[in-house]
Amino acid sequence: MKAEKIEIFDTTLRDGEQVPGCKLNVEQKLVIAEKLDELGVDIIEAGFPISSPGDFHSVTEIAKLVRNAKVCALSRAHKKDIESAAQALKFAKRPRIHTGIGVSESHLKYKFNITLEQAIDRAVGAVSFAKSFVEDVEFFAEDAGRTDNAHLARVCEAVIKAGATVLNIPDTTGYCLPEEYGAKIKYLKENVKGIDNVIISCHCHNDLGLATANSIAGAINGARQIECTINGIGERAGNTALEEVVMILQQHRDLHLATDINSRMLTELSQLTSDMMGMVVQPNKAIVGANAFAHSSGIHQDGVIKNRETYEIINPEDVGVTESSIILTARSGRSALAYRYKNIGFDITKNELDVLYSEFLKVADSKKEVNDEDLNVIMNVYSQSANYERR
């Protein structure tokens, strides 16, 4: 069975860049955009042109630079926003305007003080207006995660009729459970006229730590685009992490869903984004965290040394990491110690290992991690007492 394509819509430079304290200048955005293009993302959301002259300029320059991916610009359902997006995308080879409006009860009542019918009118007006500039128009139904499915279906049907090519169903507040979000996509697939002629997109936030799970649930239920960011950066607790989605689909081939991403570039993109944004990646972050391929407990180390697959489901090389690491701590066992000594040129016997191991534990108990320098010091002390020769 051939895998169906999941389009990767990267919004690192728009939703990701909204993170407090993480301002990127135009040059930095261009570097990231070029790398995203090389990584193989299908769409780059370059910014929100009406929001500031700086953002308008960045979108214009990214549109000129990007060769393969579609370049997308965000707008509210306002004529001046859409005009600005269209203007900024003037030089894009494959432009997309992303426009939309909040449709949940809360957004209708508190943000806009309008009825659902009025929101549908605005949505249809925005999509029709955007279509006068570009063929590819994505509509976002903001806060779709908390919107009644029947109401959402009415909005979707109306914007499809107006010419939307992609329907973005954002879980803006990160509220949904995976089953609930998956069921929402399924409901739209089954109840919206014309839905098979458009692409459904998942845009999930991570307030409950479920953004990636929700996006995958959406894809399983018929969505064919996932909106995500490098390292999962974004508003509040962030967005769906690109690297997680890509590797989940790569690992679970039984889902028959695949992306065109070159996964070997994931670590490089993660580090580049983190450095440029000045935003550290948490060490235990899935796929790209410093500890993602590090083993420190004795039981795990012993397994990994015998066969990597005992405790690793991903080959580190597949995400651009040269090899797994065996970290020496007071929880490490003899096999890890022997392995690390071998790496620095010592082939030690079982008896030698017993002595070295008890010395190692003393050092390990006094500091968090034992490094190669410590191992050399332990070995020097031992060799002086036992006349041990380096082999």
Q: How far is the CB of 358 from ligand KIV (least distance, A)?
A: 56
Helix (H) or strand (E) holding 169: strand 166-171
Handedness of CA 120, 121, 127, 130 (dihedral sign): negative
* 142: partner contacted, choices ligand KIV, Zn ion, none (Cβ within 5-8 A by kind): ligand KIV
142 belongs to the binding site for ligand KIV (CB under 6 A): yes
Looking at the Cβ atoms of 170 and 218, the one nearer to ligand KIV is 170
Interface with ligand KIV includes 215 (CB under 6 A)?
A: no
Residue number with CB closer to ligand KIV (129 or 175):
175
- The three-point CA angle 367-372-375 to 5° equals 75
Minimum distance of ligand KIV from residue 42's CB (angstroms): 16
Q: Which stretch binds ligand KIV (CB under 6 A): 33-41, 62-70, 164-172, 284-292?
A: 164-172
Q: Of these partners, Zn ion, ligand KIV, none, which one is at the site of residue 238 (CB under 5 to 8 Å by kind)?
A: none
Cα–Cα distance, 293 to 185 (Å, whole number):
34
| Closest approach of ligand KIV to the CB of residue 301, in Å | 41
Q: Which stretch binds ligand KIV (CB under 6 A): 87-95, 119-127, 165-173, 267-275?
A: 165-173
- 140 is an interface residue for ligand KIV by CB under 6 A: yes
Residue type, 126: A
The Cα 356–Cα 383 span in angstroms is 10
Q: Taking CB under 6 A as the rule, does residue 15 contact ligand KIV?
A: yes
- Give the total of residues touching ligand KIV (CB under 6 A): 8
Q: Which two tokens stand for residue 74?
A: 């965000």
Q: Closest distance between ligand KIV and the C-beta of residue 144, in Å?
A: 8
Helix (H) or strand (E) holding 60: helix 53-65
- Under a CB-based contact definition with an 8 Å cutoff, are residues 137 and 89 in contact? no
> For residue 65, what are the CA distances in angstroms to 29, 38, 70, 259, 340?
11, 12, 11, 23, 46
Q: Is 243 in the site for ligand KIV (CB under 6 A)?
A: no
Q: Is 168 in the site for ligand KIV (CB under 6 A)?
A: yes
- Residue 232 CA to residue 12 CA, distance in Å, equals 8
In whole angstroms, what is the distance from residue 84 CA to residue 105 CA?
29
Task: State the residues that interact with ligand KIV by CB under 6 A.
Answer: 15, 140, 142, 168, 170, 172, 203, 205
